[in-house]
Amino acid sequence: PALFALLESALGIEHAFAIATAHPALRGIALGEADLCGELGVRDDTGLAWPRGRTVVAARAAGLAPPPQSVYPDVHDLDGLARSCAQGSALGFLGRAALHPRQLPVIETAFLPTAEEIAAARETVRAAAAEGGGALALPDGRFVDAAVVAGARRVLELAERRR
């Protein structure tokens, strides 16, 4: 069976990469923010910045998928959920655990690419293919190399989920 590890303690965060590579059946790691906040005495998102980043880096370094964000505890605050998801997406999280079904559309919208992001990704992939895959500068001044093209392809893969 596929295994998923939840990092809920300071020790878990310190050993994030070791946990992420501990067993071949491990398919992902995620952050258990409520327990971690309690242990660390963290009262707001500022104190979670480093553990969040560490979780994303450990997952990706281990070859795992980007981790999902922890639950957003206020099931009535959908605007706050959307803002939090946008922050999580910017940090490299992909998706989020939900406490209530009303949160699901907000989460889905936040983690799927926008029409503008899809258009930019298509242009990036097209331009790179036209140039034979080497590094290039797009007409709008953006530099494109293999890593940027890989990111654009991930955007297009996510866009397929919207269909």
Digit-by-digit pLDDT tens for the chain (163 residues) are 889 999 999 999 999 999 999 999 999 999 999 999 999 999 988 999 999 999 999 999 999 999 999 999 999 999 999 999 999 999 999 999 999 999 999 999 999 999 999 999 998 898 888 877 667 777 777 888 888 888 999 999 989 876 6
CATH 3.20.20.60 location in the chain: 3-111
Side chain identity, residue 115: A
Please give the structure tokens belonging to residue 142: 């953006």
Q: What is the pLDDT of residue 113?
A: 92
Q: What is the pLDDT of residue 162?
A: 67
Write out the CATH class of domain 3-111: alpha beta
Q: What is the pLDDT of residue 133?
A: 64
d(CA 154, CA 149): 9
The 3 state secondary structure assigned to the chain is CCEEEEECCHHHHHCHHHHHCCCCCEEEEEECHHHHHHHHCCCCHHHHHHHHHHHHHHHHHCCCCCCCECCCCCCCCHHHHHHHHHHHHHHCCCCECCCCHHHHHHHHHHHCCCHHHHHHHHHHHHHHHHCCCCCEECCCCCEECHHHHHHHHHHHHHHHHHC
Q: Are 68 and 1 in contact (CB under 8 A)?
A: no
Phi, psi of 103 (to 5 degrees): -80, -20
Q: What is the pLDDT of residue 141?
A: 79
What predicted TM-score, i.e. pTM, was given to this entire model? Answer: 0.85
Q: Are 64 and 29 in contact (CB under 8 A)?
A: yes
